[in-house]
Structure formats: C-alpha cells, structure tokens
Amino acid sequence: MDSIHPFRGGRLPRRFVYRHNAAVATASAVHSGTSPTPYAHATGTVTRPNMVSVGTIVWLSSELMFFAGLFAMYFTIRQVRPDLWAEHTPTLNVPFAAANTLILVISSVWCQLGVHQAEHGKAFRSGSLLNVGSWGMREWYVLTYIFGAIFIAGQVYEYAHLVHDGITLASDGYGSVFYLTTGFHGMHVTGGLIAFLLIIARTFTTRHYSHAQATGAVVTSYYWHFVDVVWIALFATIYLLK
C-alpha cells in the first residue's frame, strides 16, 4: 500500500505540488481569457525607455544630418575656390579659437556633473556656496550656462575682428560658409543656454524635485554634449585644416 500511495507521512511530494500549482495557473489563465505564462516561477518587470529621451535622440539625429549638409557645403566650396582659403585663413586667430573651444568643452564637464546630481534627486546645494561638494544640479548648470555664455561672447568678439578685416557674410564664398557654419552652431548654443535657464528656473518654482524634472535636465545635457561635439568638428575643419 505504501509503495503506491502518493502521500508519505501526510505530506504531498514536492513534484506533485509543482504540477498542481502549474495546472491551477493554466486553468486560471484560460478562464480569464489570457495566455498562460511559460514559466510560472519567473519574476521581474518589463521596462520601456523614456519617450522624452528617445524623442530627443531622434531629433538630434536630424540635427546631425543638418550639420552634415553644412560640412558638405564647406568642403565643396573649398574645393572649388581654394584660393579664397589661402587668402583668408591666415587672418584666423587660432589660439583664441582654441581657448574658446576649451571653454565649451569644460562646460560639458560641468553639465555632466549637474546630470549626476539630477539623477540622484539633488536639485540644489545642501551647504555653503563655497562648498563645491554640496552643489546640486542647479549650481552646476549655472556654471555651465556661464561658460556657454562666455563661448558665445568670444564668438561675437571674433566676428567683430573678422568683419574689420573685410571678411563678411557677403564678401565671398569663404565668408559665406564661415559665418553659416559657425553662426548656425552659435544659434544652437544659444538655444541650449535658453534651455538651461528653463531647467534652472524650475528648481525655484517647485518644492519637490520630480522625475520629470530630472528627465528634462538629462535630455538638455544630451543636446549640450551634441553641440559641443559638433563644435570640435567645426574647429578642426575651419581652424586646423587650413
């Protein structure tokens, strides 16, 4: 009797319990009209990417194509009129442009430090302003904004000197492509500065720093790093490849 009875000591065998639970789960799924899961014991959650981040990346991809067109225009006109480049490139102030480029690159470092604080839910400083270790996203983004504004001011200063030397948007092909490529980039940097102001302002208008606000700070950093990389390519093309 003991050899054929499924119970031992009043307890069900473990394999019998597993089969019973699986059968109950399958019957419940059929009754509710859903498909049973292949593994009843599997656990975990399915997550999907943040749609704001995905949308920002897709938009930046289109911006990349826009700047690719500007680069194509630059190299095409340069190939057709190399004499213009031989005439005008000596007037470029390469050390000044390199210093201005370094300012923009450093601003990306401050921006990423701000992102780190935003991802940890720290919107503003927790100590003295002189205590950099206590800074939050707001303080790092203000510093990023200052460096970005210095970059734009440096670009305007360079434009003034080039115009004084006779290189304008309508002077010749070199002037046209120089101002179009660097000018459109400057407009993108200005747009990033406006975005920083909005992100910083939101930290003053709310008591609770939400996940949505942190997402806004993160996608703004995507944009800022993008314009930084584009400028490095422009600097190498315009100022180094003479």
Structure tokens at 157: 């200063």
What is the structure's pLDDT at 40? 39
What is the structure's pLDDT at 204? 87
47 or 173, higher pLDDT: 173
Structure tokens at 132: 């950099």
196 or 209, higher pLDDT: 196
What is the structure's pLDDT at 88? 93
129 or 53, higher pLDDT: 129
Per residue in 67-95, pLDDT (tens digit) is: 999 999 999 999 999 999 999 999 999 99
Per residue in 115-125, pLDDT (tens digit) is: 999 988 888 88
Gap between the Cα atoms of 203 and 78, Å rounded: 47
Q: Minimum mean pLDDT among 16-20, 98-102, 161-165, 194-198: which range?
A: 16-20
pLDDT band at residue 19 under the 50/70/90 scheme: very low
CA-to-CA dists, residue 200 to 47, 219, 223, angstroms: 29, 14, 16
Question: What pTM was estimated for this model as a whole?
Answer: 0.77
CB 149 within 8 A of CB 176: no
Residue among 157, 199, 186, 178 nearest 87 (CA): 178
Residue 155 has pLDDT above 50, yes or no: yes
Gap between the Cα atoms of 100 and 218, Å rounded: 24
Query: Average pLDDT in the 104-131 region?
Result: 91
State percent of the chain over pLDDT 70.
Answer: 79
DSSP lists the bridge partners of residue 8 as 11
Query: Average pLDDT in the 10-38 region?
Result: 45
230 or 215, higher pLDDT: 230
Residue 7 has pLDDT above 50, yes or no: no
Q: Residue ranges of the domains in the chain?
A: 1-44, 51-240
Which residue carries 């939101």 as its tokens?
A: 202
Residue 31 has pLDDT above 90, yes or no: no
pLDDT band at residue 26 under the 50/70/90 scheme: very low
Class of domain 51-240: mainly alpha
Residue 27 has pLDDT above 80, yes or no: no
